[in-house]
């Protein structure tokens, strides 16, 4: 299609587009419009939901199909720009050189955390998300983790048994995804710290059982993040050793 469609022309096509009943050039033109028009995106979502009820629930897929899908996952590993999550037992098989270097860096920063008492811009805001994160938060965190423009910090405990990940955008919007931090007693909380300019700055309180948490931190001199175990309500400075700790990944 040689020209862009007007909003009205696109809206007339939305029903057919949602049913895959437009031709290639029209589909491309609608795709371009949808990138700019949330109202039309919402209408397409509604049409597709209606369409999804036209099909039957379908019962079971053929036996063996899942096995073929699972097998193809091994043949074609995902291309997402995410750090793969591997079982703890496999994490220890990471190359000795990388593992030793990471351990040395971690040990150094942990020592720094233990001794460092300077604190700036202390934030003891409560960041904790609901026990089951809402879908918008999950979606935003997923997209942030997949976005190559975000700064990434993979945090890990010194024994490799605990991990959490941070994705931080240049506008200061960040997400922490914690997969295996054990739930704390009700009188304790996890607290997130930014490591910047040789200091640790409280980013906020995460709650006793964080999974996905959004936060704001405008990066300046950022070198990494750490999570500590603190008394409920959080603290303005800490000398506790971090539960998990990680350095900024340079890409």
**Binding to other proteins, residues 173-202 (CB under 8 A):** 177-180
Cα–Cα dist 114/136, whole Å: 37
Tokens of 231: 């008394």
3-class DSSP state for residue 134? coil
Whether the CB-CB separation of 201 and 220 falls below 8 Å is answered with no
Instruction: Sketch the per residue contact string, 148 through 177, with other proteins: x for CB under 8 A, - otherwise.
Output: -----------------------------x
Q: How far is the CB of 118 from other proteins (least distance, A)?
A: 34
SS3 of 37, please? coil
Using the rule CB under 8 A, give the single segment among 38-46, 93-101, 223-231, 236-244 that binds other proteins.
Answer: 38-46
List 3, 8, 39, 84, residue binding other proteins (CB under 8 A) = 84
Q: Under DSSP, is residue 4 helix (H, G, I), strand (E, B) or coil?
A: coil
Main-chain phi, psi angles of 209, to 5 degrees:
-145, 65
Q: Does 19 bind other proteins (CB under 8 A)?
A: yes
If one asks whether residue 118 binds other proteins (CB under 8 A), the answer comes out as: no
Using CB under 8 A as the binding rule, whether residue 88 contacts other proteins is answered as: no
The two beta strands, 163-168 and 173-178, are antiparallel
Name the site residues for other proteins (rule: CB under 8 A): 11-16, 18-23, 41-42, 44-62, 65-66, 68-70, 72-73, 76, 78-80, 82, 84-85, 132-136, 138-139, 141-143, 145-146, 177-180, 211-212
């Amino acid at each position: 299609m040689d020209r862009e469609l007007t909003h009205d022309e696109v809206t007339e096509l939305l029903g057919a587009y949602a049913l895959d009943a437009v031709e290639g050039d029209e589909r491309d033109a609608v795709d371009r419009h949808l990138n700019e028009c949330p109202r039309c995106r919402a209408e397409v979502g509604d049409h597709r939901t209606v369409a999804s009820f036209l099909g039957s629930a379908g019962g079971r897929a053929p036996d063996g199909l899942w096995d073929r899908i699972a097998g193809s996952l091994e043949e074609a590993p995902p291309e997402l720009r995410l750090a793969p999550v591997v079982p703890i037992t496999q994490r220890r098989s990471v190359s000795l050189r990388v593992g030793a270097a990471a351990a040395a860096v971690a040990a150094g920063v942990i020592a720094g955390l233990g001794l460092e008492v300077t604190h700036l811009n202390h934030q003891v805001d409560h960041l904790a998300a609901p026990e089951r994160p809402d879908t918008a938060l999950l979606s935003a965190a997923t997209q942030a983790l997949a976005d190559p423009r975000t700064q990434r910090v993979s945090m890990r405990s010194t024994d490799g048994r605990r991990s959490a990940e941070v994705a931080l955008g240049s506008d200061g919007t960040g997400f922490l995804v914690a997969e295996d931090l054990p739930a704390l007693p009700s009188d304790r909380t996890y607290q997130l710290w930014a490591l910047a300019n040789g200091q640790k700055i409280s980013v906020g309180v995460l709650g006793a059982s964080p999974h996905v948490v959004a936060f704001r931190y405008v990066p300046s001199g950022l070198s990494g993040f750490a999570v500590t175990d603190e008394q409920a309500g959080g603290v303005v400075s800490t000398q506790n050793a971090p539960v998990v700790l990680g350095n900024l990944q340079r890409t």
